[in-house]
Amino acid sequence: MVQENLRRNRREEIPKLRDAYKPKESDIKKQIRKFLRACGIWHYNHWQGQFSEPGISDLGGIFRGKPLYIEVKVPNFNRSTKTFKQQEAFLQQAKNEGAICIIATSVDDVIDSLGMRDSRLPLGFIPP
């Protein structure tokens, strides 16, 4: 009985590996905004509210003369990262109009999608 209680307590105290570090969407968004700012890429945060367009991406901006939309998602280590139908529809419509659309789970996704991996990163920006 005592050993069983000890085992149960140990299981409750030890977090599962997949739950050890789960970044918040706001933290990922801050890293991406820091990178965009360091590169001199004009961008803004879409504030979601009751009267906002359904499915609009989290970040918007302009990159090399093209509209830029970034949908920030928390990485889901068990399953694929999900987007809602309205978000997918918005990103598809923007892509059809020539925009750059990115679904990002980290700042690395943005760096790769913008083709900046091989270029020199801005001074003062330290990738996570």
Walk me through the domains of the chain, giving residue ranges and CATH numbers. Answer: 23-113 (3.40.1350.10)
Dump the DSSP string for 1-24: -HHHHHHHHHHHHS--HHHH----
What's the rounded Cα separation, in Å, for the pair 51 and 49?
Answer: 6
Q: What pTM, to 2 d.p., does this model score?
A: 0.74
Residue 100: the pLDDT is 95
Structural contact between residues 55 and 90, judged by C-beta atoms closer than 8 angstroms: yes
Express each pLDDT in 16-68 by its tens digit. 555 566 788 899 999 999 999 988 999 999 888 888 888 889 999 999 999 99
Q: Compute CA distances 9 → 2, 5, 16, 21, 70, whole Å.
A: 11, 6, 14, 21, 42
